[in-house]
A and B are shown apart, each in its own frame.
Chain A
Amino acid sequence: MMRWCLLLIAISLGGCNRGNVPATPIVSLTGELPLEVPRIVRAGEDLNIRVGPFDEADGVVIELMMLGGLSTQLYQATVTDDYASFELGETATRWSGHWTLIAHSGEAEGRASLRIEPAEPVSPMTVLVGPRSVPLDGESRAMVVALPEDSYGNPLLNAQSGRLQITYPDGQVKEAILPVRNGVGRAWVPGGSVSGRINLGVGIAEAVGAETVLEAVAGLPNAIEVLAEPAESLADGSTLIELRTQPMRDAFGNLLVDGSLVTFRVEIPGEEPRNLPAYTLDGVARVPLQAPGRAAIAEVRASVYTITSEPIEVYFINSVIAEGFTLRAIVLPEESAILLVTSPIQDQRGQLVRDGTLVDFTLRDSRGRLQQLQGVTTGGRATVEIRMLTLQVGDYTASAVIGDAAASTTFSVR
């Protein structure tokens, strides 16, 4: 037992001792270290670098630095048979570009440079197109951009030109050259003359990019024509008429793309102009227009971007051709007011006019001064209330007008 223990101790001590032997260089190198480095290698290829020859320098450790790109790599090799050999795999050569190699040992140093060229481009290439849609105005175009990269992700900075295949919506196919500069292949894609999807295919050497789609949309419409249906309507403040455009087409006859914004501008004398937005569907934009409360001629225009239509006129005629009615002035002492009340107003069919119909009231004093008021009908009667405080002592003539019918009454304030 004792012998075994002693043996084990002896072995372990021997092992420790071997491990502690310092790996001191046999000689110290000075001067320039000769490097044998290929000038160019392909990304991913094995890279064999030899430093030497040295005379009787076996055992000397040589350090090799590779500086380049975003990377700094350090390697070590020992001189064996007069050379230090660095057999570097694809890990060392996966990053293309210019590399500086520095070999070091003691005071000795050697430098060399190496170019790692990217390998062949691989599919699928990144292909981008922008803008994503192009209006068919004869001028606009989109740019297709391809980023050719090899299997290690290295860009092909100045690769051979690629091919660009453009398939237009009408089936027409065009080929174009895709020059690659600074790692970016790019080419312009004209919109053509037919709206729809343009399919783009890009290829550089054996690599292709995923098919990319570009939307060709109609350009600005040639002309806009506005219609009103019906073209004449009652001025009852509630009837809706439809304003619409004729189908709008660009210079090549393409319908304006769905969803294009069209603005109808309605101008009625005595009212604020109205801007009514609408969006196109099948080249037509539609918008309802509410009739005004009194007779008027409205002027309507439609515009898309910078194109504006010629104006059209829409007629709103009086809605009430009333039978005769009367007007009374009633004093409300509690409210200190005078109420002007019409008798029930009937239209030509003998029916009470619709609630909310506008009635214009006019109050004239003995000096001829006018006061304009407006009332709406409820249950056929229109009323307005006049505060006594706003009236001066004297005689007044009140009148109410609706459509072609009118009524009046007089009262005095004392």
Chain B
Amino acid sequence: MSKQLLKLILWAVLLVIATFLTVVILQQLGGVIAYFQQGADPASALNIVPNAPPDLHIRVEWLEPAANSGRVLDDFNRQQVEFAYLWSWMQRNISLLRGEAFGLETYFAGPALANLKADFEQAVERGLVQQINTAHRLQVMTYSADGNVLALRDSGAEFSQIIRDRQGKVVFSGTIEATYQIILLQENGRWRIRQMIQTGARLKESGQPITPANPLEGMVRTAGDELLLNGELFQVAGINYYPQASPWEGFWSKYDPEVTAADFERIRALGFNTIRIFVGFQDFGGAEIDLDRVALLLNLLDQAAAHDLRVIVTLFDFRTDYDPLLWPQADRHLEGLVPYFTKHPAILAWDIKNEPDLDYRANRPEVVNAWLAQMAQRLRDLDPHHLITIGWSSPEAAATLPSVVDVVSFHYYRPAEQLPELYAALEAATPGQPRLLTEYGLPTWNSFFPNGHTEAEQALYTADILKVVNQSGMAGQMVWTLYDFSNIPATVAGRLPWQSGPQANLGILRRDGTPKPAAALFVPGADLDLPPLPAWARFTKPFWLLVLAGAALTLVGAGWMVWRWLQRRRAKSPTQTPKPRSEKRLPRPPRRPKSKR
């Protein structure tokens, strides 16, 4: 190798390293500048608990005062008492979270405060309790004539607890419905709890079975591991739906009834009988439901009914914080949304959460599962007619909490040949329940990056999955998704091309609306025995072509260098005479001094 070439290579390497370092330094510098521009984090600056909600969103019902209860509790004082009572719970919840009595003096006094403080001193040593109250039913039992002493009864205190032992192992997770007798005193214009005694309690551990659904006429119901509609077997042939121009976050903000109608027409024509949609938690107003969005959802469901399509409505989309302090918001979300649709015939099932098991890492599994169990119970209480499911991300995860759902559903993006075995395990873990594959698919993003697939491969994969579904007795399948998308929000898959690319190309219709080969497989009676692709076909993909070209170039380059080396060696060898072994080595010439420029 010539010296010149070596220099060039060194410079190239140095350039690459310098560019990389510059990018890293700029990124870090940007982060530092952004940090200082954001200001202080209120939670750390004010020593408060992160995630403590500004609004509690806890359900409070006031019963008629008990007979002979004394003075009438006026509206102003009722609000004051309610505020003090709810915040006393919240302050205790926060104290439990911190493991110390924190700010309890504001809401407790006398024996209640003393006992609470004593308890916290022990609780820190003994374990950790996470708790959130979600509902209360209050009744005035006694109200003194001067308006300073109030005895209340909370006959519907409902709170969820997760209790761990010193090793962090969960020893209890569930909901408690309790009755309390409370005595409040008004001191210095503020109501404080002096006494709070539990007089009864009913524990319900997470994962206990919910009441079976009671579908109305024309709704899908379960029968063993099958789904029935109007007395006949209903095999779900479904698709996950987003409009082509406004997927994910834009779905509801850019909702267009005409686009929906056209898409539903297309979906029906492709042979599907069910769609799965997503209702974003914040998109629909969070704890305070946006009625305009409710109207849009109603429009979609009406259109689905008109096209004889059933809908699985996935709730709480993009809500990834399972902090128990925020659970009441979820309760209010359901209470605000679900009652509008309890009798809608188009809904096949409520899907409580999309892939909640993927949130296990950021939130503890027991917290996520406890929340799911509570939401299932809430849903059933609010809507006794429609089925409930949870869209787990894998067949393995779907064996979690089967008792709180009517239909077990899971997603699958792995090789089709592994599905029968995994499904058999799920079947054994969830006997007597319908099981539904609610997401699967293969992206047709065939680029210079690895793991690209062709449309033909997608069709083969889809056919294989459909065959497994048909043979296994699954209640149905729902492919992901209808369209290829042009714009994928970074929050969905990431910004980098190898992240967003596959996500954007999972549709069975291309961006221009023309069908890919897989689209033809959903028509009833479609031939699923597609001819296998030749073994060499994978090497026609851009990635492999690039690899082959690279390998060829490397080979050529290496061959050329070997040839050159051999040439030089051959050219030198006739003139050289071997050195005699005994010959003394010549002294090394002095190093040439560096010239100063």
Contacts and interface: CB of A to CB of B under 8 A. Distances in A.
B142 A155 contact: no
B119 interface: yes
Contact of A97 (B110, B176, B183, B197): B197
Interface stretch (B74-82, B120-128, B527-535): B120-128
Most buried by B among A74, A132, A143, A183: A74
B151 A183 contact: yes
Interface residues of A, number: 46
Contacts of B145: 130-131, 141-143, 188
A186 B70 contact: yes
A399 interface: no
Contacts of A70: 92, 112, 115-116, 119, 196
A149 interface: yes
Interface stretch (B198-206, B423-431, B436-444, B557-565): B198-206
B148 interface: yes
Nearest to A68: B198
Contacts of A147: 149, 183, 194-195
B171 A104 contact: yes
Contacts of A149: 111, 195
Contacts of A100: 176, 201, 203
A320 to B, nearest CB: 60
Interface string B167-185: 0000110001011010100
A111 B171 CA distance: 13
Given A153-B114, A182-B153, A130 B141 contact: no
Interface in A76-115: 76, 91, 94-100, 102, 104, 111, 113
Nearest to B164: A74
B163 A143 contact: no
A145 interface: yes
Contacts of B141: 181-182, 184
A72 B95 CA distance: 13
Contact of B115 (A67, A94, A182): A94
B253 interface: no
A102 B176 CA distance: 13
A321 interface: no
Contacts of B142: 181-182, 184, 186
B420 interface: no
State the majority secondary structure of interface residues on A.
strand
Contacts of A143: 70, 144-146
A65 interface: yes
B148 A130 contact: yes
A105 to B, nearest CB: 10
Interface string A359-387: 00000000000000000000000000000
Contacts of A113: 201
A218 interface: no
Contact of A98 (B110, B111, B201): B201
Given A152-B111, A155-B181, A74 B165 contact: yes
B95 to A, nearest CB: 10
A323 interface: no
A71 interface: yes
Contacts of B481: none
B50 interface: no
B161 interface: yes
A155 B197 contact: yes
Contacts of B178: 98
Given A68-B201, A69-B198, A145-B144, A182 B151 contact: yes
A369 to B, nearest CB: 63
Most buried by B among A181, A184, A186: A184
Nearest to A72: B129
A130 B70 CA distance: 12
A239 to B, nearest CB: 48
A24 B112 CA distance: 40
B432 interface: no
Contacts of B146: 128-132, 142-143
B149 A73 contact: no
B381 to A, nearest CB: 23
B157 to A, nearest CB: 11
A147 B111 CA distance: 12
A157 interface: yes
B198 A98 contact: yes
A23 to B, nearest CB: 11
B473 interface: no
A72 B148 contact: no
Interface string A250-283: 0000000000000000000000000000000000
B163 A128 contact: no
A154 interface: yes
B147 interface: yes
A347 interface: no
A187 to B, nearest CB: 11
A183 B183 contact: yes
Given A98-B199, A153-B110, A182-B142, A128 B115 contact: no
A113 B118 CA distance: 23
A63 interface: yes
Nearest to B120: A71
Contacts of B194: 147
B119 A71 contact: yes
Contacts of B118: 91, 94
Nearest to B197: A97
Contacts of A75: 126
Interface string A124-158: 00001111100000000111010101001111010
Nearest to B66: A182
Contact of B126 (A74, A96, A142): A74
Given A70-B92, A72-B129, A95-B115, A186 B196 contact: no
Given A68-B198, A72-B127, A147-B183, 12 more contacts: A63-B165, A69-B196, A73-B126, A98-B199, A98-B201, A104-B171, A128-B148, A155-B111, A155-B197, A157-B181, A157-B199, A184-B142
27 contacts: A68-B201, A69-B196, A70-B119, A71-B119, A72-B161, A72-B163, A73-B123, A91-B118, A94-B115, A97-B198, A102-B172, A104-B172, A130-B144, A130-B148, A132-B146, A143-B70, A143-B145, A153-B115, A155-B181, A155-B195, A155-B197, A181-B142, A182-B183, A183-B183, A183-B197, A184-B144, A184-B183
- 8 smallest A-B Cβ distances: which pairs? A130-B146, A153-B111, A143-B145, A182-B151, A182-B141, A97-B197, A74-B126, A97-B198
Interface of B: 70, 92, 110-112, 114-116, 118-119, 122-123, 126-127, 129, 141-142, 144-149, 151, 153, 161, 163, 165, 171-172, 176, 178-179, 181, 183, 194-201, 203
